[in-house]
Amino acid sequence: MRETRAVGTRILYVEDDHRIRGSVKLALEDEGWQVDESETG
User: What is the pTM assigned to this prediction?
Assistant: 0.76
Ranges of beta strands (E only) in 1-41 are 10-14, 34-38
pLDDT above 70 (res 3)? no
Residue 16 vs residues 19, 20, 25, 26, 32: alpha-carbon distances, Å? 9, 8, 13, 16, 23
Which among 19, 20, 22, 16 has a CA at the least distance from the CA of 39?
A: 16
Which of the pair, 35 or 8, is modelled with greater confidence? 35
The answer to whether 7 and 31 have CB atoms below 8 angstroms apart is: no
**Model confidence over 9-19: pLDDT tens digits?**
999 999 999 99
